[in-house]
Chains A and B, each alone.
Chain A
Amino acid sequence: MLLSSVILVLQETLEVALLVSMLAAVSHRLNYSMSWLPWGLCGGFVIAVLYAVNMGSIAVWFDYVGQEVVNAFAQITIAVILVLLPWTICSDENRHSLLFQWAAVIVLVLSIGREGSEIILYLDGFLQQEGKVQAVLVGGGIGFSIGISVAILLFYGLVGLPRKLGIATPILLLALFAGNMLAQASQQLTQADWLHSTGALWDTSGLIPEDSMSGQLLYALIGYESNPSLIQIIAYLAGTTLLLLVAASAKFWSTRASLQK
């Protein structure tokens, strides 16, 4: 019981924790205020509790696929905001700092709300059973701590990069994250039968199983899926490419603007 709670909480924590470290690395590099972090964490916690408490009634929406639709909506929103985020980064003007803060808060609230609600539902199930609470809380605590540790490692790794790579690397990771979000949203909508189901294009489960440690880490970091469908791949590429295009054009316009000054 201890081990499965370590794994479950780690899985749910890792994705959000890595997102926080990417955003924090960008924020740190640009000397933006970090005030988005406490707001995002608190807001996310509130939304996670609300989502968990109302899961029963949300689940029956749209003929029992409410959960998929809400998750997909959250994931698409996260992807859209992340795609636009480079516009607030690749410019020196002050007002963009505030836009970045807002974008980061919304993205965090939605991510924590979705993943956090699963942890809350999981823990709540054990609170009803006597004798198991302690093991599950200890396991969950260990999983949570591992997730946070990996995120701190990533943050210092990104912050320690040479100046030229210091923005490009987190932007690239955020681009993959945006692709991951759109791919997950397409998976949720396929599961709900709102999108036509297409078969798996390839299967790399023999190479890197999704339930292995590397599989889980790759899933959280770049959305690794061992047997993705065509729709998932298109969604992934769309999210990643769009973010990189926005980043490139923001860079182009800010360079042009500074040359004209």
Chain B
Amino acid sequence: MNVICKRSIPALLMLLLPLSLFSATPVVEIEIKDHLFLPSEIVIPADTKIKLLIKNLDPTPEEFESYELNREKVIGGNSKTVIFIGPLPPGEYPFFGEFYPKTAQGKIIVQ
């Protein structure tokens, strides 16, 4: 009994901790430089939640926007941010920088 308790207490404590600490959510990094997304094409697996880590290396803010992904977020100049996407079915999901849409274009390919 005692042994079981000792073993199960850490396990129970682990359950209380935020899932994100243990979750295997894959991280994909994107950089913004000179109002361009680098890389501009990202391939991710289908039916998987992804954590996009976006680093804006420009001094100006940008807004990550995608109608297909249903996502939008302002990213300050010289800062980074996180956007969760998925799980998604296979397909192509374009995204763009709403503040500099002429150059800041990219897409996520889910396969």
Interface residues of A (CB under 8 A from B): 1, 4, 8, 55-56, 59, 63-65, 67-68, 118, 121-122, 124-126, 128-129, 187, 190-193, 197, 199-200, 205, 209-211, 225-229
Q: What does DSSP make chain B's interface, helix, strand, loop or mixed? A: loop
B49 within 8 A of A: yes
Interface residues of B (CB under 8 A from A): 20, 25, 49, 51, 59-63, 67-68, 70-71, 73-77, 79-84, 86-89, 98-102
Other 14 A-B pairs with CB < 8 A, given A55-B61, A67-B73, A228-B70:
A4-B99, A4-B102, A56-B76, A63-B20, A68-B73, A125-B61, A125-B77, A126-B60, A128-B59, A187-B70, A193-B25, A197-B84, A200-B70, A205-B68
Contact of A4 among B68, B75, B89, B101 (CB under 8 A): B101
A125 touches B70 (CB 8 A): no
Docked CA distance A121–B75 (Å): 10
B67 touches A210 (CB 8 A): yes
A193 touches B20 (CB 8 A): yes
Docked CA distance A190–B88 (Å): 13
Least CB distance, B28 to chain A, in whole angstroms:
14
Closest to B62 in A: A125
- The 9 residue pairs across chains A and B that have the minimum distance between CB atoms: A125-B60, A64-B82, A193-B84, A210-B67, A121-B61, A56-B76, A125-B61, A4-B101, A64-B81
Docked CA distance A67–B73 (Å): 8
Contact of B81 among A59, A193, A210 (CB under 8 A): A59
Closest to A64 in B: B82
A55 touches B98 (CB 8 A): no
Docked CA distance A151–B52 (Å): 37
Docked CA distance A226–B70 (Å): 9
Least CB distance, A24 to chain B, in whole angstroms:
28
Contact of B74 among A64, A67, A228, A229 (CB under 8 A): A67
Least CB distance, B107 to chain A, in whole angstroms:
15
Docked CA distance A200–B89 (Å): 10
Least CB distance, B110 to chain A, in whole angstroms:
12
Docked CA distance A18–B62 (Å): 26
A63 touches B82 (CB 8 A): yes
B73 touches A191 (CB 8 A): yes
B79 touches A56 (CB 8 A): yes
Given A64-B80, A191-B84, A209 and B67 contact (CB-CB distance below 8 Å)? yes
